[in-house]
Amino acid sequence: MDRIKSKVAIVTGGANGIGRAICELFAEEGAWVLIADIEEAGGKEVVAAIRAKGGEAEFCRTDVSNPADVQRAVAMAAAHNGRIDILCNNAAYLSPDFHAALESTDEEWRRCIDVALLGTHSLTKATLPYMIDQQQGSIVNIVSIQGMEGMMTSAAYTATKAALLGYAMSVSYDYGLQNIRINSLCPGPIQTRISADPNDPHLRWQCDQTTLGRVGYPKEVAWAALFLASDEASFITGVTLPVDGGWTSSSARKRV
Ligand SMILES: NC(=O)c1ccc[n+]([C@@H]2O[C@H](COP(=O)([O-])OP(=O)(O)OC[C@H]3O[C@@H](n4cnc5c(N)ncnc54)[C@H](O)[C@@H]3O)[C@@H](O)[C@H]2O)c1
């Protein structure tokens, strides 16, 4: 309890999955949370769930690829008490139908870049002035192990996620002296609505790629995000932290 008490946090893509778990945990730990998502019903449901447990949250319908939406969301968060302490860039364009380079369409590339990369930049750019004034802030980007290694038929998604790692390193360099930290969390396979069906052989394959032999849960990513967002991580910036059950650190895949 209270690990980020009274801090103001913005979480993009907070209506579902990993983002929802992050919103709920941040609120449990004392933050005032702005849920910025394109899904209004889901976002309002998360607000209600947080308030039912005594937490504080608001929803702002936000398409992170729309600069006007981003300005509105950041203004709404700042209206709470003038501060923005934590930004969690989690929203991404997720398609069940990503492609290899040859088959990938311009539309797929544009949507990946507009939502995950430019959306993250837009939110970061709109939030940094508050953090600079405060001389304090923590930005946590939800990336993917697909930013760290290649995987099948997802050139645009993988390229966008890899670019986010470079973005965090650059921003951490430029704003470190203002005590603004920015870190990248790289989830492995996490059970959300985008996950493979329980009977899909792809799920077994994913489990076999981890040393823990299973997929992860949204809360397991949220715990890592909470740590990086909190003052407990006050000397940590510019890092890439896999939350992947050992996928990237081992040769587990060679078992199969
Ligand atoms: N689930 C996994 O296995 C996994 C693995 C690695 C990385 N990730 C990353 O974690 C993040 C969350 O994924 P998830 O599995 O929870 O997916 P999800 O679909 O459950 O949640 C994504 C949320 O983002 C919102 N969103 C989509 N486009 C948006 C936009 N333009 N503006 C604002 N909100 C938008 C959706 O409405 C949704 O609420 C993504 O960045 C994804 O790339 C997920």
| Nearest ligand 1 atom to alpha carbon 90 | 41
Q: Which residues contact 149 (CB under 8 A, 6 or more apart)?
A: 248
Name the residue of 11, 12, 16 whose CB sits within 8 Å of the most ligand 1 atoms, as the mutation to test its pocket.
16
In this prediction, residue 254 carries a pLDDT of 55
Let me know: does 16 contact 192? Beta carbons within 8 Å. yes
pTM, full prediction: 0.98
Q: Comparing C-alpha atoms, which of 234, 229, 236, 222 is closest to residue 4?
A: 229
Rounded Cα–Cα distance for residues 188 and 206 (Å): 9
DSSP string, 136-173: -EEEEEE--GGGTS--TT-HHHHHHHHHHHHHHHHHHH
Q: Whose CA is nearest to atom 7 of ligand 1?
A: 144
| CATH number corresponding to 8-255 | 3.40.50.720
In this prediction, residue 214 carries a pLDDT of 97
In this prediction, residue 96 carries a pLDDT of 87
In this prediction, residue 111 carries a pLDDT of 98
Let me know: does 137 contact 127? Beta carbons within 8 Å. yes
Q: Which residues contact 24 (CB under 8 A, 6 or more apart)?
A: 46, 49, 50, 53, 55, 222
Q: Is 157 noted as a catalytic residue in this protein?
A: yes
In this prediction, residue 234 carries a pLDDT of 98
| Nearest ligand 1 atom to alpha carbon 36 | 33
What's 213's DSSP letter? S
Domains of the chain: which residue ranges? 8-255
Beta bridge partners of 186: 242
CA of 91 from ligand 1 middle (Å) equals 5
Pairing state between β 56-61 and 32-37: parallel
Residue 88 near ligand 1, beta carbon < 6 Å: no
CA of 177 from ligand 1 middle (Å) equals 31
CA of 180 from ligand 1 middle (Å) equals 25
pLDDT tens, N- to C-terminus, the chain (256 residues): 899 999 999 999 999 999 999 999 999 999 999 999 999 999 999 999 999 999 999 999 999 999 999 999 999 999 999 999 999 999 999 998 999 999 999 999 999 999 999 999 999 999 999 999 999 999 999 999 999 999 999 999 999 999 999 999 999 999 999 999 999 999 999 999 999 998 999 999 999 999 999 999 999 999 999 999 999 999 999 999 999 999 999 976 655 5
